[in-house]
Amino acid sequence: MRIAVEGCMHGDLDNVYKTLQYMEQVQNIKIDLLLCCGDFQAVRNEYDLKSLNVPPKYRAMNSFWKYYSGAEIAPYPTIFIGGNHEASNYLWELYYGGWAAPNIYFLGVAGVVKFGNIRIGGLSGIYNARHYRLGHYERPPYNEDTIRSVYHVREYDVQKLMQVEEPIDIFLSHDWPVGITDYGNWKQLVKFKPFFEKEIQERRLGSKAAAELLEKLKPPYWFSAHLHCKFAALVQHGEGGPLTKFLALDKCLPKRKFLQVIELEAQPGPYEIHYDEEWLAITRRFHEIFPSTAKNANYGNLKLQMQDCRQWVQSRLKERGAKPFEFVQTVPCYDPSRSVSNSPLAGCNRNPQTESLLKFLELPYLLDDTSESGPSGSSIPFSDSGSFVNSEDIQIDDIDDGDEETAEPEDA
């Protein structure tokens, strides 16, 4: 099985797919799957642009809407996680994962799926200590604060991933695990990114949450993006322990290192994306403490015995099958000849895929619940904890969407 991995997509699906098709032709190979490490920008229409955290004058439809509408079909099964430049309103509809467009699958805020017999996990967003121990209180339409905090990694989703016991083959995160530079040529890295040196020396470059997951899951492959450069590392987990090959990739631009193809031993195809039994059991178990407000989840009363839950999920999957529920359009698609900004369907909707999955798992729908969230337009007070630099505070040399010198460091 050949898997292509891409760094930051930034909505440029057309060029990434064309590049892969060119590689297939020149190298005489067949690529079975594309993975994207965030900043995918699944923008369906003009309304979605309002949830995209970039300066308004640099917001652009790009090319995802063609695939959402069905005008184009992704030539490869595509799995992506979220970053810090996303149509956050749409990804919230698919919190548990689902088809963002035909043949294009969002892994969820946190998730694990199977592609053939290859197990792929991922964590969306970027680490920010101020919001890590809060719940998911943000709801569209976002204000100037929540449009930034909505994509910050939450402890609840990390704790779900920490319960995974079966081996993960590939893991995706947008920002890098903190300390990963210890295992690669960081001196070469700072020659090209000199402003990383202080954070590396102080062990503050990257995500504490991702580092904890790397230590727990120990996957053979870990891919990231976010910092707009290629960086490789090899992590030895204890003396004689397993190895993790880490690779960060750039964003999709000419002469940038944004793609890598790996080859894995796998069962014969054809390959399809399927739900993962263990992950659905974890999702079902954790659902009762889902933090739908600013208050963090209460883990004290959570029963982590998974055997009964796992057997229940297994029987349900045997009855229905493991294919994800089918893609459904939930808003009008972008049409260059007209605007849909005032459409009654332009707001946040309950996605039928999400409703179907929760019904399948016999769980209530909680993504609308904001009964205890902070007042609209206000910031949630929370003091920094720990000494880790927040991912959006890292200086990047090439600011996205215009390379504007006055743009804040978060726009990376």
> How large is the C-alpha radius of gyration of the chain?
20
Is residue 213 within 8 Å of 127, Cβ to Cβ?
no
Q: How far apart are CA 131 and CA 145, in angstroms?
A: 12
Sign of CA dihedral 224, 227, 231, 233: negative
Q: Which residue has the higher pLDDT, 408 or 176?
A: 176
- Angle 171-174-175 from CA coordinates, rounded to 5°: 110
Nearest CA among 60, 86, 213 for reference residue 149: 86
Q: What is the DSSP string of 161-214?
A: HHT--SPPSEEEESSPBTTGGGGBTHHHHHHH-GGGHHHHHTT-SSBHHHHHHH
Mean pLDDT across the chain? 89
In the chain, count of helices (H) and strands (E)? Answer: 12, 13
What pLDDT band is residue 387 in, cutting at 50, 70 and 90? Answer: very low
What pLDDT band is residue 369 in, cutting at 50, 70 and 90? Answer: confident
Considering the entire predicted model, what is its pTM? 0.91
The residues pairing with 152 across neighbouring beta strands, listed in sequence order, are: 126
The residues pairing with 250 across neighbouring beta strands, listed in sequence order, are: none
For residue range 273-297, list pLDDT tens digits in order: 999 999 999 999 999 999 999 999 9
- Angle 192-152-107 from CA coordinates, rounded to 5°: 90
What pLDDT band is residue 396 in, cutting at 50, 70 and 90? Answer: low
For residue range 212-237, list pLDDT tens digits in order: 999 999 999 999 999 999 999 999 99
What pLDDT band is residue 388 in, cutting at 50, 70 and 90? Answer: very low
For residue range 61-111, list pLDDT tens digits in order: 999 999 999 999 999 999 999 999 999 999 999 999 999 999 999 999 999
Indicate the pairing of strand 98-101 with strand 231-236: unpaired
Q: How far apart are CA 258 and CA 281, in angstroms?
A: 35
Look at the block and give the residue holding tokens 């991995």.
5
Is residue 283 within 8 Å of 160, Cβ to Cβ?
yes
pLDDT reported for residue 346: 53
What pLDDT band is residue 373 in, cutting at 50, 70 and 90? Answer: very low
Q: Which residue has the higher pLDDT, 342 or 200?
A: 200
What pLDDT band is residue 385 in, cutting at 50, 70 and 90? Answer: very low
Query: What is the CB-side half-sphere exposure of residue 46 using CA atoms within 13 A?
Result: 10
Matching CATH number, 2-336+347-361, of 3.10.590, 2.30.30, 2.60.40, 3.60.21: 3.60.21
* In the chain, % of residues over pLDDT 90: 80
Chain centroid to CA 128: how far?
A: 15
- The distance in angstroms from the start CA to the end CA of the chain is 32
What pLDDT band is residue 392 in, cutting at 50, 70 and 90? Answer: low
- Angle 216-9-146 from CA coordinates, rounded to 5°: 75
Give the single-character DSSP code of 116: T
For residue range 102-136, list pLDDT tens digits in order: 999 999 999 999 999 999 999 999 999 999 999 99
Q: What is the DSSP string of 118-166?
A: EEEEEE-SB--TTTTTS-----SSP-TTHHHHTTB--HHHHHHHHT--S
Q: How far apart are CA 44 and CA 50, in angstroms?
A: 11
Give the single-character DSSP code of 7: S
Nearest CA among 290, 166, 148 for reference residue 219: 166
Helix (H) or strand (E) holding 221: strand 221-224
Instruction: Judge whether residue 395 has pLDDT over 90.
Output: no
